[in-house]
Structure 1
């Protein structure tokens, strides 16, 4: 089974208040967007693991 990318953990996946849903902030081309929408976006080249505690570590 091929391991996929989980967008929920990506830095580029954030809540858009205008659309009231989560969106990818990366400017995807037409083919990439089609794969993203259908859920077939495996091994995303733009994936960056989000680290919500990064700011806290800098304050210490």
Structure 2
């Protein structure tokens, strides 16, 4: 499944830049990511970014 999204860029008062990307809640639910189990692993390989459900401590 594909969906085109826009990355939001935010500049802090000290000049640092952070980003945000909204992911559909239904996609996260399919991965078993919930408000209680919200840990994820983000992996970058070449020109792809992948998100996996992480292990809860």
Q: Which TM-score band applies after superposition, normalised by the shorter structure? A: under 0.3
Which structure has greater helix proportion?
1
TM-score between both structures, scaled by the size of structure 2: 0.22
Higher relative contact order (CA 8 A, sep 6+): 1
TM-score (norm 1): 0.22
Instruction: Tell me which protein shows more strand as a share of its residues.
Output: 2
